[in-house]
Structure formats: C-alpha cells, structure tokens
Amino acid sequence: YISNINIWGVTYSRSSICALKGSKVEMSCKYIYPAKYNNINIVIVKTVWFTKVINGDFVDLKDDTDYSGRVGYSCINTFCSLKIFNVSQTDSKEYRFSFITNQQGGKYMGSPGVSLSVRDLQVKVNRLNDPIRIQLTCHTDCQLDPSVSYVWLEDGKANKENNNNLVLSSFNTTHRYQCAIRGHEDVPSPAVYAPQTTVLSVTPSETVEGSKVTLTCSSDANPAAKYNIYRVNEDQHGQLVSTEIQPVFSSIQVSDSGRYYCAAGNDLGSRTSPSIDINVKYAPRSPSVSQSPSGDIVVGSSVTLTCSSDANPAANYTWYKEGEKAQKASGEHFTITNIQNEHRGNYYCKVQNKIGHHNTSVSVTVVPEMMEMRNAIEITE
C-alpha cells in the first residue's frame, strides 16, 4: 500500500451513520493522489467500496452476494458516493473506500471508514396513572428529522394518530400495535401485544418420586411477559408456587402431586394457562402380608394369604413358595384349599410396578387333624 499521506488520501464526509431498517443509506468520500509519482503519470484504474478483505484483496460490494441488487456507486472526478438500499441489521459494519492506480502496488485504502448502524423502530409501553390507560411511544436510537411524521398500525391497519405517542384506553387488549415512518409503512416496528396463548408444561412428562422435574410457563408476548406459577389448593384457589419462568423440583415428592397453572403478564395485559395435573409416580411401599385364618392350619382346611402395598401406578402381585421356581398365584389374595402337609413353608409375595418392586414373606404351618382334636379335648378337660 502507498502510505505517503501527504499526497495520497481518502476523506469521508461522515465517520458514522445511523439508519432505520429498510431505509436507503448514502455515504461519500473524496480522495486525492499526485498527478505523477516516481516519474510515472498516475492513472486511476479502479475505485471500490468494500467491507471484506480476502487474501489481501478488497471484495467489491457490487460482487458481494450480501448486497446483490442493493448497492450503487457514483464517482465524479475524485468525489465518490455509495448508496445501499433496504438496509438491515446485518449491514451494520464499517464501509471503506479504496482506489487502485496504474503504479505497481498502487492501492490505497481510506481507514478508518464509515461505521453504519442499522436500527429498528421500537415501541415503548408505559402504564399511566390510570390503571387501564397505556401510552405507546415510537422511538429509535437514530437521530431523526424533527419534521418526520409517524404512522400507527393496529393489527396492520393505519390509525389516525400521527405523532410518536399513542394512548390506549383498555388493558388486556387483543390488538397488536406497530409504528412506522410515514412513507415507509412497509418497514414498521416489531409489534407489541399482550400475552397470547399461555401454556404450562412439565418435563419429563412422567414424574417419578425423587427425580428432577421442571415446570415451564411459556407465552408469546412483546414486551416479554413476567410469569407466576400456581398450585390449586383444597379451596380451589391458586397458591403461588414460583415467579420464575422455569422452576425446578430437584427431588419431587408425592406431596407435590396436584393441579398447577401459570399466568403470563406484561403492561398490555395478562393471560392464564389451562391447568395441568402432576401425578407423582412411586415404587411400591413396603408391603404388609396377612393370613386368614391365623395360626396353625389344619390339614384339609383352607387358608387365604393377603398381600397389600401402596404404589403408583397400582402394583401387580405374584406369589411364590420358597424352594420352588414356578409361580403359585397372582393377585393380592392367594387361597390354598384342602391344605396338606406339603403346603407348609414360607410363601413370598412380590409386589411390582414399572417404578420398582418389593418382596415380603409369610410362613404357613400345617397341623394334622387328630392333633387339633386332641388339643380341643385337653382344653375341655
């Protein structure tokens, strides 16, 4: 690069520009160079505006696919201008100008260049002292001409108001509001609106005791909504659980089972989600086992073994006899009729659901019929 700034140079008319999204931007510069250098008559071979440098070469904006059909150059003598149409936030960069001469290494770049910042129009929402009156203000970080006229759009249709403020007289409005510069209604601000559909979800969908469970309240809203999550109590009223958008049960318990809902709200309104039920699943509790009739069982009579356990979902019951692999019965109750000596022994009840299982046992004692009679006689005597 030729760096003798006394005779080579680029001067930009502005060092920075702030522009609205969708608008046209124009920047310009003036460059100087000597008529002759090292006894060579200087000829301008090419002028170029660029933002990218690849392998030491300036990428002409006209050849940059990011700007296809959106740029135009104009050069009169040593005054050059650049126009960029329909700018967007991705155009927010530094733009530099370079001229190339017929001299070997005769490439000059003006740096720093022009810094372009592209901004959206934005709508600010302000609650007034009146609880149902809301003021919307159209603004941007860019300095606009004081004479600029605004357009307010309600659900895409122009409103009569033409200044940068709009006052609404209703809270919980269902409308969407945008503002634009008159003449540029095709590039409005992002819309502001009260929360739309509000949903409360739970992850994972099946909740197991002791696991980590996350509640998430979501809603489409601008400005962003604030969230409250409630649990329905015995009086069917909502009890506040959290003001976080995504509260977490680090180890959920059965006592956390219940009905939950959330509310999303911003300065334009609020909306409540449908309720969801959280049903905490758990493995069978330690089962209890009983025998009827109790005590010793007389040969030839019947006995019923009963196993019970609290579980969610409901448990399945399976009976086994100690020393035997084959299943004896299924269900909470196991009845042995016409009991014989070979029926004596320990019986196991296996209680199981998809969360877990528990085992418990009961011992059945069988006595001969004559012994039972003899015992009865002895008691009588």
pLDDT digits 0-9 by tens, 290-336: 999 999 999 999 999 999 999 999 999 999 999 888 899 999 999 99
Rounded CA separation 102/42 (Å): 6
pLDDT at 300: 93
pLDDT at 4 exceeding the cut of 50 = no
Distances (CA, A) of 82 to 25, 177, 195: 8, 35, 43
Residues 87 and 133 in one domain: no
**Count of domains for the chain:** 4
Domain termination residue (choose one: 191, 206, 233): 191
Give the pairing of strands 297-298 and 366-367.
parallel
In a domain, 90, yes or no: yes
Rounded CA separation 267/256 (Å): 32
pLDDT at 378 exceeding the cut of 60 = no
pLDDT at 132: 76
Residues 143 and 201 in one domain: no
In a domain, 127, yes or no: yes
Rounded CA separation 269/374 (Å): 87
Domain termination residue (choose one: 226, 243, 278): 278
pLDDT at 377 exceeding the cut of 60 = no
Give the pairing of strands 150-154 and 40-41.
unpaired
Rounded CA separation 296/99 (Å): 111
Residues 294 and 353 in one domain: yes
In a domain, 273, yes or no: yes
Q: Give which of 2, 6, 25 is closest to 81, Cα–Cα.
A: 25
Residues 264 and 332 in one domain: no
pLDDT at 127: 84
* Domain of residue 23, CATH code: 2.60.40.10
pLDDT digits 0-9 by tens, 185-215: 888 999 999 999 999 999 999 999 999 999 9
In a domain, 374, yes or no: no
Domain termination residue (choose one: 191, 206, 239): 191
How far from the centroid of its chain's Cα atoms is residue 182's Cα? 36
pLDDT at 236: 82
Q: H-helix or E-strand containing 320?
A: strand 316-321
pLDDT at 6 exceeding the cut of 70 = no
Q: Give the list of residues 6+ apart from residue 39 with CB closer than 8 angstroms, or none.
A: none
pLDDT digits 0-9 by tens, 257-284: 999 999 999 999 999 999 999 999 999 9
Residues 13 and 61 in one domain: yes
pLDDT digits 0-9 by tens, 116-131: 999 989 999 998 877 7
pLDDT at 243 exceeding the cut of 90 = yes
pLDDT at 41: 84
Residues 246 and 200 in one domain: yes
Taking the CB of residue 29, how many other CB atoms lie within 10 A of it? 25
What domain range is 41 assigned to?
A: 9-118
Residues 76 and 130 in one domain: no
Q: H-helix or E-strand containing 370?
A: helix 369-380
pLDDT digits 0-9 by tens, 64-115: 999 999 999 999 989 999 999 999 999 999 999 999 888 877 788 888 999 9
Rounded CA separation 170/175 (Å): 10
In a domain, 357, yes or no: yes
pLDDT at 106: 76
pLDDT digits 0-9 by tens, 138-196: 998 888 777 788 999 999 998 877 788 999 887 778 899 999 988 888 889 999 999 99
pLDDT at 39: 78
pLDDT at 27: 96
Residues 186 and 208 in one domain: no
In a domain, 106, yes or no: yes
Residues 137 and 237 in one domain: no
Q: What are the structure tokens assigned to 168, written together?
A: 């609404």
Residues 52 and 106 in one domain: yes
Residues 244 and 262 in one domain: yes
**Which residue is it, tokens 């290494």?**
105
pLDDT at 184: 82
Q: Is 23 exposed, middle or buried (0-12, 13-18, 19+ CB in 10 A)?
A: middle
**Average pLDDT, integer, range 45-68:** 92
Q: Which amino acid is at 44?
A: I
Q: Give the list of residues 6+ apart from residue 332 with CB closer than 8 angstroms, or none.
A: 306, 307, 308, 317
pLDDT at 3 exceeding the cut of 50 = no
Contact 334, 264 (CB under 8 A): no
Rounded CA separation 73/58 (Å): 16
Residues 273 and 343 in one domain: no
- Find residue 112's DSSP bridge partners: none
